[in-house]
Structure 1
Amino acid sequence: MMTLLRGRAVVVTGGAQGIGRAVAARAVEQGARVVLGDLDADRAAATAAELGEAAVAVRCDVTVEEDVAALVRHCVERFGAIDVMVNNAGMTRDATMRRMTLDDFRQVVDVHLTGTWLGTRHASLAMREQGRGSIVNISSISGKVGNLGQTNYSAAKAGIVGLTKAAAKEVAHAGVRVNAVQPGIIRTAMTEKLREDVWAAKLAEVPMGRAGEPGEVADVVLFLASDLSSYMTGAVLEVTGGRYM
Structure 2
Amino acid sequence: MNRLQDKVVIITGGAQGMGKLHAKRALEEGAKVVITDVNEEGGRQTEKELGDGVIFLKHDVSSEADWKNVIDTVIAKWGRVDGLVNNAGITFNTPLEELSLENYLKIVNINQVSVFLGMKLIAPIMKKQETGSIVNISSMNGIVGGAIGYTDTKFAVRGMTKAASRELSPYNIRVNSVHPGVIQTPMLDREDAKAAIEQMKKAIPMRRVAQPEEVSNMVVFLISDEASYSTGSEFVIDGGITAL
Change (3 A) 1:86 1:190: farther
The one of 130, 143, 151 aligned to 2:148: 151
Q: Is it true that 1:220 corresponds to 2:222 in the alignment?
A: no
Task: Using the TM superposition, name which of 79-88 and 205-214 deviates more.
Answer: 205-214
Instruction: Describe the superposition over 1:52-86 as per-residue Cα deviations: whole angstroms up to 9, x where unpaired.
Output: 11000000010001111211222221122100000
195-204 or 182-191: which moved more?
195-204
Cα deviation for residue 198 of structure 1 reads: 4.3
CA distance in 2, matches of 1:201, 1:158: 26
Cα distance in 2, alignment partners of residues 164 and 114 from structure 1: 13
Which of 150, 175, 178 is residue 178 of structure 1 equivalent to?
Answer: 175
- Flag the 1:117–1:193 CA change in 2: closer, same or farther, 3 A: farther
SS in 2 for 1:244: helix
Partners of 1:185 and 1:203 within 8 A in 2:
no
Q: How far did residue 193 of structure 1 move?
A: 7.6
Distance 1:190 1:157, change over 3 A: farther
| Match for residue 243 of structure 1 among 206, 220, 241 | 241
Alpha-carbon distance change, 16 to 190 in structure 1, aligned in 2, over 3 angstroms: farther
Alpha-carbon displacement from aligned partner over 1:207-233 (angstroms, at most 9, x marks no partner): 222221221100001111001110111
- Given the superposition, is the C-alpha separation of residues 44 and 237 from structure 1 closer, same or farther in structure 2, using an over 3 Å criterion? same
CA separation of 1:5/1:14 partners in 2, compared to 1, >3 Å: closer, same or farther?
Answer: same
Q: Distance in 1 between matches of 2:7 and 2:63?
A: 26
SS of corresponding position for 1:85: strand
RMSD over aligned CA atoms reads 1.6
Which residue of 2 is the match for residue 14 of structure 1? 13
Aligned partners of 1:229, 1:135: CA distance in 2, in Å?
12
Distance 1:163 1:193 in 2: 35
The alpha-carbon distance between structure 1 residues 192 and 76, as it changes in their structure 2 partners (threshold 3 A), is farther
Alignment TM-score, normalising by the size of structure 1: 0.94
- Residue in 1 that maps onto 2:28: 29
CA 1:116–1:189: 2 relative to 1, 3 Å: farther
Superposed counterparts of 1:74-223, under 5 Å: 74-147=73-146, 150-188=147-185, 196=193, 198-223=196-221
- C-alpha offsets along residues 10-63 of structure 1, whole Å, 9 cap, x if unaligned? 000001111111110010000000000101011111111111110000000100
Identity of aligned residues (%): 36
Does the 8 A contact of 1:112 with 1:157 survive in 2? yes
For structure 1, the residue ranges without an aligned partner over 5 or more in a row are none
| Superposition deviation, residue 191 in structure 1 | 6.0
Q: 1:122 to 1:82 in 2, by over 3 A?
A: same
How many Å apart are 1:136 and its aligned residue?
0.2
How many pairs align? 242
Deviation of 1:130 (Å) = 1.0
**How far apart are residue 194 of structure 1 and its match?**
10
* 1:179 alignment partner, SS class: strand
CA distance in 1, matches of 2:66, 2:75: 14
Shift of 1:203: 2.4
Q: Distance in 2 between matches of 1:138 and 1:193?
A: 25
Q: Which residue of 1 aligns with 2:50?
A: 51
**d(CA) in 2 for partners of 1:195, 1:237:** 31
Distance 1:67 1:164, change over 3 A: same
CA contact (8 A) 1:127 1:176 kept: yes
